[in-house]
Amino acid sequence: MGILVVGSIAYDDVTTPHGRVEMSLGGSATYFTAAASFFSPVRIVAVVGEDFDVGALGFLEARGVDTSGLAVRPGETFRWSGSYGEDMGEATTHATHLNVFQDFRPVIPATHRSEDYVFLANIDPELQRSVLDQVEKPRLVICDTMNFWIDGRRDALEKLLRRVDVFVLNEAEARDLAGEKNVVKAARRILDLGPSRVVVKLGEYGVMLVGAHRILRLPAYPVEEVRDPTGAGDTFAGGFVGCLAESGDDSYEGMHRALLAGTVTASFNVEAFSMTRLREIDRQAIDERCRHLERVAGWRPWAAAVPPGC
């Protein structure tokens, strides 16, 4: 089954204790697609400026990603600059230049509107709703957000959540949105806003999925050296949604596998700057690491090939 993702493509300047890169490929839609394309066909809708090197997306096109929804507009591509301290926790933003992304109004091509899985990457919730107005009865809608929208566009976000099946956010965002310090209580309050499942990213402590009657918890993969956390959340979402689309299994068992896939794909991403590791690895590497993480977590063995409806 196919995936439609709508989000940002960017150039990033990133500094960590391990070095610095400039004008590296970034953006929520890019990281998501780089991960999801290991599992399922992806169609991407985003905007870039005239300065963007479209050849940088060649590795995605080689995996079958449909980039025909990419709009090139006069001006410069979205640019972000940030740094991480020794603990490699939250990034400190030094500069954000929205450029052509500031006027981004997603137009979903007719060929993209019937995809079964729709991922709404981190953009204005009004724009996320506009995407849902254009697509045709997706099987599953998955949405991401950030504190900026929670604090500044809460009404729009809550309207959006009535139309979302799975909501993905980090621990701080969950507490902020729900007004609850306890993350489990926070997730349950968010369920009341509309989603049937809430996925809470817990950073180095793993990830948690909360539904009406069940909670799943998975530890993070034990990465020996984190070099660049940029895009880890979007990479997790890509692996998670990609695995769901591959199996077609939206049950708790299917989401159990998808949590593994997302966690493991993100673990590769943080081992190097930008898309370096996501370019280097293959599906076999992901499957091997999934089996390892399941042994660590005490879950049953990962099957490399997940047949539809398993």
Check: CB of residue 209 under 8 Å from CB of residue 197: yes
Alpha carbon distance 273, 257 (integer Å): 27
Taking only the tens of pLDDT, the chain with its 310 residues reads: 899 999 999 999 999 999 999 999 999 999 999 999 999 999 999 999 999 999 999 999 999 999 999 999 999 999 999 999 988 778 889 999 999 999 999 999 999 999 999 999 988 999 999 999 999 999 999 999 888 888 888 899 999 999 999 999 999 999 999 999 999 999 999 999 999 999 999 988 899 999 998 999 999 999 999 999 999 999 999 999 999 999 999 998 899 899 999 999 999 999 999 999 999 999 999 999 999 998 888 776 665 544 443 3
Check: CB of residue 63 under 8 Å from CB of residue 34: no
Q: Model pTM?
A: 0.93
Residue 173, SS3? Answer: helix
| pLDDT score for 303 | 59
Q: Assign 3-state DSSP to the chain and report helix, strand, coil percentages, each to 5.
A: 40, 25, 35
| pLDDT score for 59 | 95
Q: CB-based contacts of 276: which residues, under 8 Å, 6+ apart?
A: none
| pLDDT score for 280 | 94
3-297: CATH, from 3.10.20.740, 3.40.1190.20, 1.25.40.850, 3.40.640.10 = 3.40.1190.20
| Pairing, β 215-218 against β 207-211 | antiparallel
Give residue for tokens 């989603």. Answer: 195
Domain residue ranges in the chain: 3-297
Cα distances (angstroms) measured from residue 152 to each of 20, 80, 131, 286: 32, 20, 20, 37
